[in-house]
Amino acid sequence: MNNQKLEIFEFAKKNKLEVNDFIEMTISSRKTSKERRIDEMLSVLDDADTLIVTELSRLGRSTAEVIGLVNELIKKQVRVIAIKQNLDMKQHDMNSKIMITLFSLFAELERDLISLRTKEALASKKMQGIQLGKPKGTIQKSKFDKDAVKIQELLALGLSVRKIANYLGYSNHIGLNTYVAKRKLRAGV
């Protein structure tokens, strides 16, 4: 993230632009647009503002998302600059729209190729007889481990898993029930 900030500051200085604010966004397929701070960015930017990004792929997870976001920004009359692609997008500029689509498509293609190579490598390992993943029966660490003794004591007293979860401050009694079953904590009861 610091390299991106530095690159943006250098670009702004070279082009006599002023950087007023940074919004650090996380591009993750598991997070909502609110969690990635895209909604915040859209609400902060107004007419005649300029958004500078190091590259277009930083704006979204897919071609459609990047194009949609850039189109929304251009409709709001926000100038969008992508440094690495040397793009300066303004409203009603057909060349900018074509370039956005192409660069976004290439970024998505690159992600797809990486995914494909990963899947092929895993398939190759499997063909070689290498077992993927953790061995069957492996017990992973759990957030409940720190309270294992207390949980076992409370089970021995006859408390339900739901009551134990509430007592210990866990919101997920189903997860605790799975933990109790996998660790066979009721066996000593």
CA distance 51 to 44: 11
Q: Are 132 and 126 in contact (CB under 8 A)?
A: yes
The CATH architecture to which 2-111 belongs is 3-Layer(aba) Sandwich (3.40)
- Domain spans of the chain? 2-111, 134-189
pLDDT tens sequence for the chain (189 residues): 578 888 888 988 998 888 888 877 766 555 565 566 777 888 888 888 899 998 887 788 777 788 788 888 888 888 889 898 888 887 667 887 787 777 778 777 888 888 999 999 999 999 999 988 888 877 888 889 999 899 999 998 889 999 999 999 988 888 899 999 888 888 654
In this prediction the pTM is 0.50
Residues 6 or more apart whose Cβ sits within 8 Å of residue 95: none
